[in-house]
A and B are shown apart, each in its own frame.
Chain A
């Protein structure tokens, strides 16, 4: 089983990144051996549009089975689910990837089964190069 954790750095000792689509790195962990298999750079972290979908494409192509992050936006969620990838939310910014993996193995995170917002509302934390686009018409439910 391959778990993808959104991370601020390239090591298991790095702090997690709580925003999936805008995270700079994805660490892919083999949950059988607990080894880190791969570090994938999120080339779309600063995308002006669709960062979540592009990030989902990256981790989907990397063959992961589950994603663990603080928050996974609705577009990314729908994309990951279309690839049959499970989504777990709830990591907090003070955790390291190592700690988050530990909590994951103890079932401390909830699996997300439905998107939380209307897609396309810029659920990302606005870390892209194009900040504060003031997207008119975002309807939050």
Chain B
């Protein structure tokens, strides 16, 4: 990672990242590596919290592959379209200055000789062309890029963001599903946000406004490597939280995971071992806490839910 990444971000960036206009606690579930169990932890924690009588919102912000609904067997309901701006060019107003062509970072616009610009390439809706146009010859068209959904099961509300497969503009869908849940924050006692794997823009977008983060990982070299990456990102964002070890009894190096967590000033959350009941519930598309409440992993999730409820006075 470049040296400048280890520096502190400017205070206004940090302030904007942590700003939220409601008091409902928000917990992010991330982890860097894919397949470590982020969504499994998310859905089980959501169910464990809901079973305590809390009104829980779970936001599935992995919009490229949303799957919390599958693991909960909850059908996607109440769709809302997510659109981005597509520039529409008013040939009458265009003065052929070419500013929009130069402003487009994706080189999506082309100005044929003697004609107004055409949109030929892939546009991500950034609106730079609209901003730069001095003669106001570009106006907003709309392009659907995905949907958000709201599904409900007792006092658990699942917000899902889904990008239209094949499109690249996943970020506005992440923002949209967060906004939809955050707009209803007053109706919930707690909000959980399940991120995509990685340590990129969409993970940052998903964690914006979170009060703390649970970084899920596994005791493997890749789990350790990606955990360090995500924790460096979280440090940079000044976002605290814990590390949760899943499949803790794999024949891997648990101490390395603890050392990484310690290096980043993070406590180890209760760990989950390989649990046949958890695998069974996963295969059945239900939470283990509801399907097999006495399973070892269910006890861990209930304990975590209790700790969270205590911490936030819920």
A50 near B112: Cβ-Cβ < 8 Å: no
A91 contacts across to B, CB distance below 8 A: none
Q: A51-B107, A137-B165 are in contact. Are A120 and B122 (CB under 8 A)?
A: yes
Per-position binary interface string of chain A over residues 73-103, scored 1 when its CB falls under 8 Å from any chain B CB and 0 otherwise = 0010011001110000000000000000000
In this complex, the interface size class of chain B, counting residues with CB under 8 Å from chain A, is 20 to 34
> Binary interface profile of A, 60-73, with partner B (CB < 8 Å = 1, else 0)?
10010000000000
A-B contact count (CB 8 A): 59
Q: Does A49 lie within 8 Å of B105, measured CB to CB?
A: yes
| 5 pairs, A vs B, C-beta closer than 8 Å | A56-B110, A57-B101, A60-B111, A63-B113, A136-B165
A24 to B108, CA, bound (A): 20
Mostly helix, strand, loop or mixed at chain B's interface?
Answer: loop
* Bound: A49/B109 CA distance, A: 11
| Of the residues A44, A49, A79, A137, contact of B112 by C-beta under 8 Å | A79
Contact among A49, A84, A139 for B121, CB-based, below 8 A: A49
Q: Could you say which residues of chain B place their CB within 8 Å of the CB of A57?
A: 101, 107, 110-111
B263 close to A (CB within 8 Å): no
- In Å, the complex CA distance between A44 and B104 comes to 12
* Per-residue B-contact encoding for A8-29, CB less than 8 Å = 1, 0 else: 0000000000000000000000
Judged by a CB distance under 8 angstroms, whether A53 is at the interface is yes
Q: Residues of B contacting A53 with CB < 8 Å?
A: 107-110, 120-121
Q: From B168, which residue of chain A is reached at the shortest CB distance?
A: A135
